[in-house]
Structure 1
Amino acid sequence: MPERDVAEGLVPWAAVADQLDWDKPWTTLYADDGRYGRWFAGGTFNLAVNCVDRHLPERGEHVAISWEGEPGDRRTLTYRQLHDEVVALAGALRTLGVCVGDRVALHMGWLPETVVAMLACARIGAVHTVLPTPLPAEALAERLEDFGPRVLFTQDGAWRHGTILPLKARADEALGAVGGIEHTVVVRRTGVNVAWYEGDRWLHDLVAGTRPGGTAPDTDPVPVDAEHPTLACHLVNRRSRPVSVLHGAATLAASALAMHRTALAEGDVFWCAGDVSWVGAQAHGVYGPLLAGSSAVMFEGTLDVPTRHRTWDIVRRYGVTTLVTTPTVIRLLRGWSRRPPEPDVVASLRRVVMIAEPVDSPLTAWLAEDVGRGEITVADGWGQVQLGGVVSVDVPIDADALPDPGFAIVDADGAELPDGATGELVMRLPWAGTLRDMEGAGAEDVAKRHWHRAGSYSTYDLARRKPDGTLEFLGRLDEVASVSGQLVSLGEVRQVLLDHPFVVAAEVVERADSQLGRSLAAAVVLASDVAADQSVARDLLDAVRDVLGGLARPRALVFVDRFGDELSADVLRRTLGLLTAGVGEEPLHLTWQQILAAAPAIDSHRSR
């Protein structure tokens, strides 16, 4: 092994890197070179080989993926079966002309085929992105135009909440506005009839010729530079200025494996219950468990179909030992349950980690005491898309082996604050999962937000350090919501509404949405001479779409007679979020007194 350069403070990353298989060993762990630094210099690596091939000698018959569809169908893939699927598709992609550095878009939900496509791209050095299935055609076209793929994967249709989303039809509509895509590969999932055009191919036909008995294409894995991009993820669209982040093959692998083994996973059966288009679900629901040789559980659709007991059924059926999901999902489970699941249902479950949103103590107590009866560890994780997923967990598996991000809480001038004070969270040590590049018209603006202080990464998140030394994460400085994997600034939506001549006051909140998972709702006070009707509502919402894009357009609008000052901003947002949860295209009319009357009940429900 060549002599290696490992900087002080980064030794845990070297230990993680040594758990990976390298085609050519790295010589310098990290160099402070450029805005993002340089990781694993001199090393070459293949992510698919590390996720699948290297496990074959000892774990070939071990279950890699346990999957079930929303209608109840199920599939299990061992590591050997997963390897065969990945190799076949990698060869098929090469027959389509896909080469190292080419781009492949995956407009698919949580299917085994989605994971196979991700790994097949990694095997041949192609870059993939996963596009959310609920995206309307207009937003899908924008994403495809930004990403520029040669090949698009989609499904005939996708099951979601008991209905079939017409994915192929939406893709066809989007492709009418986008050039450069040479092939559309379609997964036969629901059996619905679809239109067929030149360049369309069924996935099962495409891979048929690469299986035993067919013509053997080149299926050998490609060693790529450690920072070679493997995954692109749409981050934000600020006033029609899109931004996407690119993650490197070995850097994302190191981060995912480090967090899986030292912070997230207890036991061998791991389930990340989140949308596969989210980088956290890919890093921790796919790459982390597969890099570790564990079993990953995956599901299609939503957790309340066919019944609201589906989450607990999956835990019992597959013997899930660790569940990672969002506080929103856990709150839904609590609301759906008249009583906690029986002990035998969650007997395998040892650990629940909540990520992506602030966590409140009553929710933690419900999981630990009512569900777990003292047998389940409940943890709170924090991370960002820019950092490759989760970075910190308040109750880690192995704190000594967990890499240190060098957290500090600072004021607006960058001065470190004492314990208990609220400020911006910064990271003063390099993190391997950090993005390797950004693309899009707004990329430089986003970069300046995070890298404006020498020697540190500004998270733009608020936090404070508690007396026991742990961090309490308090949300974003700029109030953003994730809608179909895109960050939308609530402040920007609010400002567009306030700029409209009809509006004198506005509030924008995030709410649960049965189709998108999360979406926006707006409440406005109109000028006295403006009628609060459907045409005005449409005009306001279309104004947001025209300025900020389709995903920023609120999917619910409330006309309010006035806003008072009796409620804190936090209580007002929670109240509006719950009052608009079932509101559709028809605007809702509320008085301020009705909002005040609802607020105590909503706040009481939250604290239970």
Structure 2
Amino acid sequence: MTETHVEAPSLYPPDPEFAANANATEALYDEAEADRLAFWAKQANRLSWDTPFTEVLDWSDAPFAKWFVGGRLNVAYNCVDRHVEAGIGDRVAIHWEGEPVGDARDITYSELKDEVCRAANTLAGLGLKSGDRVAIYMPMVPEAIVAMLACARLGAMHSVVFAGFSASALRARIEDAQATLVITSDGQFRRGKAAPLKAGVDEAIESLGDDNPVRHVLVVRRTGMDVPWTDGRDVWWDDTVSNASAEHTPEAFDSEQPLFLLYTSGTTGKPKGIMHTSGGYLTQASYTHLNVFDIKPESDVYWCTADIGWVTGHTYIAYGPLSNGATQVVYEGTPASPDEHRHFQVIEKYGVTVYYTAPTVVRTFMKWGRELAFGHDLSSLRLLGSVGEPINPEAWRWYRLVFGGDQTPVVDTWWQTETGAAMISPLPGVTTCKPGSAMRPLPGISAKIVDDDGNELAPSPDYGEHVTGYLVLDKPWPSMLRGIWGDEERFRETYWSRFAEQGWYFAGDGARYGTNGEIWVLGRIDDVMNVSGHRISTAEVESALVGHAGVAEAAVVGATDEHTGQGICAFVILKAHHADMSRDQMIDELRAEVAREISPIAKPREIHVVPELPKTRSGKIMRRLLRDVAEGRELGDTSTLLDPSVFEAIRASK
């Protein structure tokens, strides 16, 4: 594997003043090391349990874990009711900032509790019950978080679908989950314009035909635009939720009650419905939010810039912060709306103290220039976080310098949809950081870097050549996925077959140890691309390209991109009767096809029309070699190719 990081010798030790007041200390590692299960029991007991658990972990049916066995709790109660009962109902839970300037709301914990209760009563009135599935297809508005919590309150599973996804992508997720209810909005504001959403829901449902499981569509008025309407099926949020009772008694559910499905790209075209359950997930979400971000709920204003359509928005917007009684900012729009000052203005307006974003956002700010940030007062910031992909050392240092005045800790977090919560990260106030490294597993978490045979690799002795291995998690953790919806065999094959003998979870990422034993995550080793923190499978994009009438075959790879982490590069062979079409016209059509089928995020950065694709004698496309071409490198081993000369034609087409 090609090394993508240049390790710098400079170290960033914790600031003594920060360390003196930090939530986490070195003792947390010692405690977890001494008795891991007792450690997790202590973290679980930070929550409110209706029935105490009798066993911390049942791993007898591995790889299917049961955490906090026998315990019963309600996730929504833990995120809202208990804070009101504790006397902090007047604390702001959400500072909501809409994309149109001046469109803002502050929602206290008391107000949030009432709204969640009203929504739960409404959903129950629409026939929703424990175990049902609900698709949530919404922008970053408070009602989206309310909808998630209302589902959790009733024991129903939510499946949040990123509002930037197409109707086709929404349809696939509704169909797989057999969702009986869709919650959406009339539209959303994006880059200064109102764009429809409800129409996409109608298209998705209509395309399901007689197999459509959806009984109701609950619609939030966001933009005021006219929407198509189906009487008897469609209902307005403000006609129902707003008029419902704010009294609702939450039911306690088993710790292993399914909480949500979240679909993530796989190495085959069909997205995987990753399933998370209640007690273990909430325990680790709450624990990591408190300690990784050093949250002081009484004084901090926390801002995670993710979308709830991704796991980061689930764990570090909907569940982690609210379970801790924190005050957070939720922002609807993009960093450049109405101009590049917006994020800095939001930080100033609310006095944001903890800011958690993706490396691609940091690189965008770098491109705009540090003068932009220096024109604003960012002195409220005391901690910065990074998520979604490895952050390169240059961006890490720029982030700390420009946002943090070269004073704030930076927590570079590694985790996945499947892990549910942060797994490898510095602890601020404890960890001496190396820019670009996620450092070491958090207390209570165990990870190794191993070779093909499962032998653990040793830390590198110098700054020269580094040996890359596979990142594995060798012990179960509370927020781990409990399966792939409806496909137990795929769950075993995808995550547990590579090191089945050892019983390890294979993360799918390559990694290496640094000189001090710290972990450097190097990115995906399979055919899933990471574009601006969004995981998109090569197979999904290839499927969309081949869906065009003029394409005979397609191969897609991710190539290093300065701004987005990876860019999508496609190589297509046209059918003979389309070969005379203008190449530019065809490329434009193909990019539009991918945007329609998947999302504008998945539009290829480059499309090359080629006469042949490099294949092995067995017919397998050699994407490894296409990555070499896309990144301008010398070709690797071509000995297994059926026709090595094919690359001359591919290069000629670029």
Does the Cα contact within 8 Å between 1:264 and 1:393 map onto a contact in 2?
no
- Is 2:76 aligned against 1:44? no
What is the CA-CA distance between 1:506 and the residue it aligns to? 5.8
The residue type equivalent to 1:436 in the other structure is R
Q: Percent identity?
A: 34
Query: Which of residues 247, 254, 257 in structure 1 aligns to 2:286?
Result: 257
8 Å contact from structure 1 (residues 262, 401) kept in 2: no
Q: Which runs of 5+ in 2 are unaligned?
A: 1-32, 432-439, 461-466, 614-623, 634-649
1:314 aligns with 2:346: yes
Sort the Cα spacing of 1:265 and 1:26 in 2 relative to 1 into closer, same or farther, 3 A.
same
- Paired residue for 1:185? 218
Hey, what does 1:103 align to over in structure 2? 133
2:168 counterpart residue number: 138
**C-alpha contact (below 8 Å) 1:320/1:349 kept by paired residues:** yes
- Output aligned runs, 1:282-321, within 5 Å: 282-321=314-353
Code of the aligned partner of 2:191? H
In structure 2, relative to structure 1, the CA distance for the partners of 1:317 and 1:96 (3 Å cut) is same
- In structure 2, the partner of 1:14 is 41
TM-superposed CA distance for 1:159, in Å, is 0.8
Match of 1:204? Answer: 238
Find the aligned partners of 2:139 and 2:56 in 1 and give their Cα distance: 35
CA contact (8 A) 1:239 1:549 kept: no
Change in CA separation of 1:285 and 1:569 when aligned onto 2, cut-off 3 Å: farther
Aligned length: 567
What residue ranges of structure 1 are gaps of 5+ in the alignment?
Answer: 1-5, 577-590, 596-608
- The secondary structure found in structure 1 opposite 2:291 is helix
Aligned to 2:325, the other structure's residue is in SS state: coil
* 2:497 is the counterpart of 1:445: no
The equivalent residue for 1:78 is 108
Deviation, structure 1 residue 236? 2.3
1:191 partner amino acid: G
Distance 2:441 2:495 in 1: 27
Give 3-state SS (helix, strand or coil) of 1:193's partner.
coil
Secondary structure of the 1:67 match is strand
Determine if contact 1:498/1:504 at 8 Å carries over to the other structure.
Answer: yes
Larger RCO (CA within 8 A; separation ≥ 6): 2
After TM superposition, the structure 1 = structure 2 runs for residues 365-514 of structure 1, keeping only pairs within 5 Å, are 365-396=397-428, 402-420=442-460, 421-440=467-486, 444-452=489-497, 453=500, 454-481=502-529, 487-490=535-538, 508-509=557-558
SS of equivalent residue, structure 1 residue 424: strand
Query: Displacement of 1:568 after TM fit?
Result: 10
Q: Match for 2:75: what amino acid?
A: L
Contact 1:264-1:397 at 8 Å conserved across structures: no
Q: What amino acid is the match of 2:492?
A: A
Structure 2 CA distance for aligned equivalents of residues 24 and 69 of structure 1 = 40
Question: CA shift at 1:538, angstroms?
Answer: 7.4
* Pair 535,413 (structure 1): closer, same or farther in 2 beyond 3 Å: same
Given candidates 156, 161, 169, the residue that maps to 1:126 is: 156
Distance verdict in 2 for CA 1:518–1:88, change over 3 Å: farther
Kindly state the Cα deviation for residue 322 of structure 1 after the two structures are TM-superposed.
Answer: 1.1
Q: Choose from 142, 156, 168 the match for 2:186.
A: 156
Which SS does the other structure have where 1:54 is aligned?
helix
Following superposition, the deviation at residue 371 of structure 1 comes to: 3.0
Equivalent residue, structure 2, for 1:559: 608
Matched, 1:246 2:275: yes
Task: Specify the alignment match of 1:533 in structure 2.
Answer: 583
**After the TM superposition, which of the residue ranges 280-289 and 331-340 deviates more from structure 2?**
331-340
- Normalised by the length of structure 1, the TM-score is 0.83
Match for 2:260: what amino acid? L
Residues 405 and 429 in structure 1, CA contact (< 8 A), matched pair in contact too: yes
Cα shift at 1:465 = 1.2
Report the CA distance between 1:61 and its aligned residue.
Answer: 0.5
Residue 410 of structure 1 aligns with an amino acid whose one-letter code is V
The Cα shift of 1:384 comes to 0.7
Quote the residue 1:58 is aligned against: 87
Q: 2:170 & 2:41 partners in 1: Cα distance? A: 40
Aligned pair in 2 of structure 1 residues 446, 200: CA closer, same or farther (>3 Å)?
same
Tell me the CA shift for residue 533 of structure 1: 2.2
My pick for the range that moved more, 388-397 or 255-264, is 388-397
CA distance in 2, matches of 1:51, 1:506: 45
Q: How far off is 1:541 after superposition?
A: 6.8
Residue 299 (structure 1) shift: 0.7
Partner of 1:598: none
Q: Aligned with 1:82: secondary structure?
A: helix
Matches for 1:578-597 after TM superposition, within 5 Å: none
Q: 1:392 to 1:46 in 2, by over 3 A?
A: same
Q: Is the 8 A contact 2:532 2:566 kept in 1?
A: yes
The one-letter amino acid of 2:179's match is P
Q: For residues 12 and 397 of structure 1, what CA distance do their matches in structure 2 show?
A: 20
Residues 409 and 425 in structure 1, CA contact (< 8 A), matched pair in contact too: yes
Partner residue, 1:167: 197
Of 319, 323, 333, the residue aligned with 2:365 is 333
User: Could you tell me how far 1:94 is from its partner in structure 2?
Assistant: 1.1
Look up the match of 2:51.
Answer: 24
Say if 2:305 is the partner of 1:273.
yes
Which residue of 2 is the match for residue 584 of structure 1? none
Structure 1 417/484 Cα, relative in aligned 2: closer, same or farther at 3 Å? closer
Q: Distance in 1 between matches of 2:250 and 2:372?
A: 47
Residue identity in the other structure for 1:186? V
CA distance in 1, matches of 2:128, 2:547: 46
Deviations 1:158-215 (A, max 9, x none): 1111222210111111111231211111100000011211211110111243247xxx
Letter in 1 for 2:51: K
Equivalence for 1:604: none
Contact map agreement 2:474 2:505 (CA 8 A) in 1: yes
Structure 2 vs 1, CA of residues 417 and 188 (structure 1 numbering), >3 Å: closer, same or farther? same
Deviates more, 1:6-15 or 1:460-469: 6-15
In structure 1, the partner of 2:381 is 349
Distance 1:201 1:78 in 2: 26
- Taking the aligned partners of 1:343 and 1:62, their CA distance within structure 2 comes to 31
Q: Secondary structure at the match of 2:507?
A: strand
| Preserved contact between residue 139 and residue 332 of structure 2 (Cα < 8 Å) | yes
